Structure 1
Amino acid sequence: MVSAWVYLIVAAFFETGWAIGLEYSEGFTKLIPSVATIVSMAISVVLLAKAVQSLPIGTAYAVWTGIGAAATAVLGVVLFDETSSIVRFGFIGLIIAGVVGLEATGH
Structure 2
Amino acid sequence: YNLGSGLKVSQLSYGAWVSFGNQLDVKEAKSLLQCCRDHGVNFFDNAEVYANGRAEEIMGQAIRELGWKRSDIVVSTKIFWGGSGPNDKGLSRKHIVEGTKASLKRLDME
TM-score above 0.5, yes or no? no
TM-score, normalising length from structure 1? Answer: 0.30
In our comparison, the structure showing a higher alpha carbon Rg is 1
More helix, by proportion: 1
